[in-house]
Amino acid sequence: MDRVALRGLRARGHHGVFPQEREEGQTFLVDVTLGLDTRAAAAEDDLTKTVHYGVVAEEVVAIVEGEPVDLIETLAERIAASCLKHEGVQEVEVCVHKPSAPVTVPFDDVTVTISRSRV
């Protein structure tokens, strides 16, 4: 399985369980790794035989900027489902970063990482 990765996609969302998170929003970062076979695309130098990562990036940002959810686990699940809708994508790993999470001790980042595949 080949990999196409997008790292550090940034978008402002209003996700979280606290009212302040919902009202003010915050920046989320998303890493996506798509698993697919890129041999046909490479052999024919044909974008239509692979995944268009620019389109995937736009879809991920739209999900983050879209309907608020309480949990970044839910956000990651929505992103994974969107990625798996692309023909040829057999599996996906999604990591959602919430660097401004409401944590009361010093920290660098909070992340949730999920892996999903076609069944």
Q: In the annotation, is 98 catalytic?
A: yes
Residue 24 has φ and ψ, to the nearest 5°, of -85, -30
User: Of the residues 60, 98, 100, 109, which is catalytic?
Assistant: 98
User: 70-103 burial, b for 16+ CB within 10 Å, e for fewer?
Assistant: eebeebbbbbbebbbebebbebbbbbbbbeebee
Question: Active-site positions?
Answer: 98
